[in-house]
Chains A and B, each alone.
Chain A
């Protein structure tokens, strides 16, 4: 008799705990899912205004080839002949293309002549994304001048880890979590110009601005 009572009591207790567990799990899930509001999934991104170009992005990514690459914001670029993002400081005077005169270790920056004007030559610098390893050598160099070169997490490569390995190693807390619809960041000073361009029916600028989360 007491054995049967014991078994009953035990069963009642276990049933009670199970029901309580299911209810609380449901409530927690509903509460968390409800509180999220309209915000979608998030992606990792670098805030270019906070980035200090330490070089950790090239080495700390879980991918063999880092998901971080350099981006050239042409609307901030001076198209300088003496580019501190392209040449090493020693290379600025000679301006030849010997490897020791170039900052980029993988020759991922392509320099093309655009125009000569008032005795001054202008060059355009574009990034070969396949060659870029995200080492930020050029970013640091360019920061001495206009700072048009900056790093971004490329979302055709990024696997969106729950905790980004580069974010852990980032010394300046530059990694942010924008939404997956707008997973990129622009430099704050360039945003106005790109928006203006987009307003003037520039499709490329519109395409860019659609993917960029405003820094505010």
Chain B
């Protein structure tokens, strides 16, 4: 159609003089560029790349923020300083740098760089991915506490939260690992960076966005008012990695052990359900039941992994359809067989590009094969996570005092902000009895344990 119109137009306009071809003119233009007596042909100009923060600065700022966060959490134990850092990081990484680059998204850049050696991975993305991991291995999730802009948004609104039931908390927590697995395979196959696409806070950082993003971000924020950090706990793929790593951290936020007065304030105030009370002594009966449960979980794990592997491999086609080229191949096939009567922009563009149909089909078919394997891998990953979770929750642990969960604690510092023992240490009060209602006394935990 376009070609027909083009030739008609050329005929109509054939009267235009064509004798003014400049010597070095572009060869295959429909109309030559004229030469003017006193008007040189201007050259198009394009604006310079502006507002770019040099990579070194980005990395240096992240490093300083991580050091400060770890210092405030572990050494000075000051929630006020942490909050100030949280707000500063939210302003810088969130509103000024507009949420890019962030470690959560950088996970995908790293995955793609490993899968595809030709991909030029930005050095900031690599540094943003690696640095918080290393800090977490030493200091716990201090990155989540006060550096991450996504965490900061939720941290600041988590003021009146309710406790999520344990079973729900455990089940929703699995979502993050599924999301992580999916993000990695989609990034590695160049299907897309789904974590960036569904970053709930980007529209707030950029003060604008499309409706889907605003609705999603708005609902996460709304949920965040009653459930502490819903994105961090149940979706964040980077948080999932950090949860694993912080189990092996050298130091981490801790609640004073021996001086604990058993006031329960820390457990009540933790919006993330990350503080576990001391365990009660088990009866022989419950011990037996627990052992049986544990054995069952250990035997169930391989079955769970195998079944998730099977489910994952059968999902090859829907997974592959996330890739734009596979969608294009399907659309073109439907058009060729006459099932689709209307062409899309993409199929028109494909026909205009002169690429062979067989080539497109072959690439789509090979991608489907790839996704059979990758889907299986994703299934195995989910299976391992679910299986491990089953074993983990059926294992009984002995706790003599209040302890922060190694994985779930984001080191926000609320627990020791409220802790009366800490208040004494800071010199805010001289004795714990000052903060107690009249006539009430607290029994130190060490005394309870002895009795």
> How far apart are the CA atoms of A146 and B345 in the complex, in Å?
22
Q: Is A160 an interface residue, CB under 8 A from the partner?
A: yes
Question: How far is B41's CA from A122's CA once the two chains are assembled, in angstroms?
Answer: 12
Measured CB to CB, the nearest residue on chain A to B129 is A29
Q: How far is the CA of A118 from the CA of B196 in the complex (A)?
A: 57
A154-B29 contact, Cβ under 8 Å, with A32-B121, A62-B206, A64-B208: no
Stretch of B31-39, B61-69, B309-317 on the interface side:
B31-39
Select from chain A the residue with minimum beta-carbon distance to B17: A118
How many positions in chain B have a CB within 8 Å of any CB in the partner chain? 86
Using CB atoms, name the residue of chain B closest to A42.
B120
B48 adjacent to chain A (CB < 8 Å): yes
A84, B401: Cα distance in complex, Å: 79
- Segment 28-72 of A: residues with Cβ below 8 Å from B: 28-29, 32-33, 35-36, 39, 41-43, 50, 52, 54, 56, 60, 62-64, 71-72
Interface: A137 (CB within 8 A): no
Q: Does B434 contact A (CB under 8 A)?
A: no
The CA of A199 and the CA of B245, in the complex, are separated in Å by: 57
- Inter-subunit contact A74/B123 (CB<8 Å): no
Given the complex of chains A and B, what is the CA–CA distance between A71 and B44 in angstroms? 7
Partner of A77, one of B24, B33, B110, B348: B33
Once the chains bind, are A79 and B33 in contact (CB under 8 Å)? yes
Whether A41 touches B345, Cβ cut-off 8 Å, given contacts A63-B206, A80-B16, A115-B36, is no
Q: Are B29 and A78 in contact (CB under 8 A)?
A: yes
Residues of B with C-beta under 8 A to A35: 113, 117
Does A7 have its Cβ within 8 Å of any Cβ on chain B? no
- Cα distance A124–B25 when bound, in Å? 17
Known: A144-B5, A161-B196, A205-B43. A192 touches B126 (CB 8 A): no
Stretch at the interface among B81-89, B98-106, B223-231, B263-271: B98-106
Would you call A146 and B30 a contact (CB within 8 A)?
yes
Can you name the residue of chain A whose Cβ is closest to the Cβ of B27? Answer: A189
- B193 near A: Cβ within 8 Å? yes
Q: Does A110 contact B (CB under 8 A)?
A: no
A128 to chain B, nearest CB (A): 14
Question: Interface size on A (CB < 8 Å)?
Answer: 83
- Which one of B19, B46, B110, B129 has the greatest number of beta carbons of chain A within 10 Å? B46
In this complex, what residue of A is CB-closest to B249?
A18
A-to-B contact residues, CB < 8 Å: 14-15, 17-18, 21-22, 25-26, 28-29, 32-33, 35-36, 39, 41-43, 50, 52, 54, 56, 60, 62-64, 71-80, 82, 84, 114-115, 117-118, 120, 122, 124, 143-146, 152, 154-157, 159-163, 165, 168, 171-173, 177, 179-180, 183-184, 189-190, 192-194, 196-197, 202, 204-205, 207-208, 211-212
A-B pairs with the 8 shortest C-beta distances?
A: A78-B31, A172-B349, A171-B346, A171-B345, A163-B193, A156-B47, A204-B43, A29-B130
Known: A124-B42, A156-B50. 18 other contacts (CB 8 A): A21-B137, A21-B248, A25-B130, A25-B134, A29-B129, A32-B113, A33-B126, A73-B44, A80-B16, A144-B5, A146-B30, A154-B47, A156-B51, A160-B100, A168-B197, A172-B353, A193-B24, A211-B48
Can you list 15 pairs linking A and B with CB atoms under 8 Å apart? Answer: A18-B249, A21-B137, A25-B133, A28-B130, A32-B114, A35-B113, A36-B121, A36-B123, A156-B48, A163-B193, A171-B344, A173-B325, A177-B120, A204-B45, A208-B43
